[in-house]
C-alpha cells in the first residue's frame, strides 16, 4: 500500500528521526529487563494510569508489540511520510505527527482499558494528509487492488470503522481519531475543501488568531484604495510592511495550494 520506499538517506530529517526513534525504542525494550528496567510498561498508555503518567499519551506511539507490528507501521510511515514531510517541511510534519498521536491516545481513553501501543493512530493521520495532497496517486489496496488515494483513504477508514465491532484487540478508535486529526489539519492549515461541515467549524476555530480575516480584507482594501488615490509613496512604513506581509502570505498560500492540488 502506498508508494515505493525511497532510499533511507534521501528521507527528510524529521522522517528519519521518527523511524529511528521507533526502531531504537523497540530494540531497547527487548533488552531493558536485563538492566533491571521496564521501559515498555513505563511508556505504554493505560487509561487507568494516565493521570499519573500523562507522558504516555505520546510515548505509547513509539512502542510496538512485536516485530511484525513495528515493521508494518514503519513501512507505512516510510511510504506515505516521505512525500508528506517534504511538502509540509520537517517542523510542521513532526508537530502534526505528534498531534495526531496525541489525538489517537486521547480517544483511546474512552474506548479501551488495557495497554495501548503503536504508531497506527498517527499514521492514519499521515495517510489522510497524503490522500489530500496527492489525491490522484494510486495505492495498492491489500497490495493487490490499485485505487486512487482520494478513494482509498476513505475505504481504509470505513473498514476500520466496521472493525470497531469485531473485538479483535486492535485500537481501531485510535486509528479513526488519528484520521480525524488529519482531516482537521488539512482543512485548517492546507485550506482544502475536503471534509464535512463540523471539520470546517473546528478548523475555523484553529485559524482564528489575531484579527479576523474580514478585518484583514477591509484593511487591505483601504490600503489599495489609498494607493489608487495618492500613489504608493503615500503609504506609511507600517502600511508598507502590512502590504508586504499580506502579499507574502498570499504567495505562500498559492504555492501550497499548487503543491497539493
Instruction: Say which DSSP state 261 is in.
Output: -
Whether residue 3 lies inside any domain: the answer is no
Whether residue 2 lies inside any domain: the answer is no
Same domain assignment for residues 44 and 168 = yes
Rounded CA separation 73/22 (Å): 10
Whether residue 1 lies inside any domain: the answer is no
Same domain assignment for residues 137 and 255 = no
Can you give the residue range of the structural domain that contains 230?
210-260
* Nearest CA among 43, 45, 30 for reference residue 110: 45
Same domain assignment for residues 106 and 132 = yes
Q: Annotate 146-198 with three-state secondary structure.
A: EEEHHHHHHHHHHHHHHHCCCCCCCCHHHHHHHHHHHHHHHHHHHCCCCCCHH
Rounded CA separation 256/88 (Å): 9
Same domain assignment for residues 73 and 178 = yes
Phi-psi region of 161 (alpha: psi -120 to 50; beta: other; left: phi over 0): alpha
Predicted confidence at residue 202, as pLDDT, reads 58
Predicted confidence at residue 216, as pLDDT, reads 47
Predicted confidence at residue 215, as pLDDT, reads 45
Q: What is the pLDDT along the chain (261 residues), one digit of tens a residue?
A: 444 577 788 889 999 999 999 999 998 888 876 776 778 888 889 888 888 899 999 999 999 988 999 999 999 899 889 889 988 888 899 999 999 999 999 998 988 888 889 999 999 999 999 988 888 877 766 566 777 777 788 888 888 888 888 777 788 889 999 999 998 888 877 765 445 555 555 556 665 644 444 444 446 677 777 777 787 777 788 777 777 777 776 666 556 545 544
CB 107 within 8 A of CB 156: no
Rounded CA separation 238/83 (Å): 38
Instruction: Say which DSSP state 236 is in.
Output: -
Predicted confidence at residue 235, as pLDDT, reads 75
Predicted confidence at residue 33, as pLDDT, reads 67
Rounded CA separation 68/105 (Å): 21
Same domain assignment for residues 147 and 177 = yes
Same domain assignment for residues 180 and 217 = no
Amino acid at each position: 500500500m502506498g508508494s515505493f520506499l525511497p532510499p533511507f538517506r534521501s528521507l527528510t530529517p524529521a522522517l528519519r528521526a521518527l523511524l529511528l526513534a521507533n526502531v531504537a525504542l523497540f530494540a531497547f525494550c527487548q533488552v531493558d529487563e536485563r538492566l533491571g528496567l521496564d521501559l515498555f510498561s513505563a511508556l505504554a498508555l493505560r487509561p487507568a494510569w494516565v493521570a499519573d503518567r500523562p507522558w504516555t499519551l505520546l510515548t505509547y506511539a513509539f512502542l510496538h508489540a512485536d516485530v511484525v507490528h513495528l515493521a508494518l507501521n514503519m513501512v507505512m510511515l516510510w511510504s506515505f511520510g516521505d512525500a508528506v514531510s517534504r511538502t509540509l517541511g520537517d517542523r510542521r510534519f513532526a508537530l502534526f505527527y505528534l498531534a495526531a498521536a496525541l489525538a489517537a491516545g486521547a480517544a483511546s481513553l474512552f474506548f479501551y482499558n488495557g495497554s495501548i501501543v503503536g504508531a497506527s493512530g498517527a499514521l492514519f493521520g499521515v495517510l489522510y494528509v497524503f490522500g489530500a495532497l496527492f489525491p490522484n496517486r494510486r495505492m495498492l489496496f491489500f497490495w493487490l487492488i490499485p485505487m486512487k488515494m482520494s478513494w482509498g483513504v476513505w475505504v481504509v477508514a470505513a473498514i476500520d470503522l466496521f472493525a470497531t465491532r469485531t473485538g479483535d484487540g486492535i485500537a481501531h478508535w485510535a486509528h479513526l481519531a488519528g484520521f480525524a486529526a488529519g482531516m482537521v489539519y488539512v482543512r485548517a492549515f492546507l485550506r482544502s475543501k475536503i471534509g464535512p461541515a463540523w471539520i470546517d467549524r473546528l478548523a475555523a476555530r484553529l485559524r482564528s488568531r489575531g484579527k479576523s480575516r474580514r478585518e484583514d480584507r477591509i484593511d487591505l482594501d483601504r490600503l489599495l484604495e489609498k494607493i489608487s488615490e495618492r500613489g504608493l509613496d503615500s503609504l506609511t512604513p507600517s502600511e508598507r510592511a502590512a502590504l508586504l506581509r499580506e502579499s507574502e502570505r498570499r504567495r505562500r498560500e498559492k504555492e501550497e495550494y499548487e503543491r497539493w492540488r
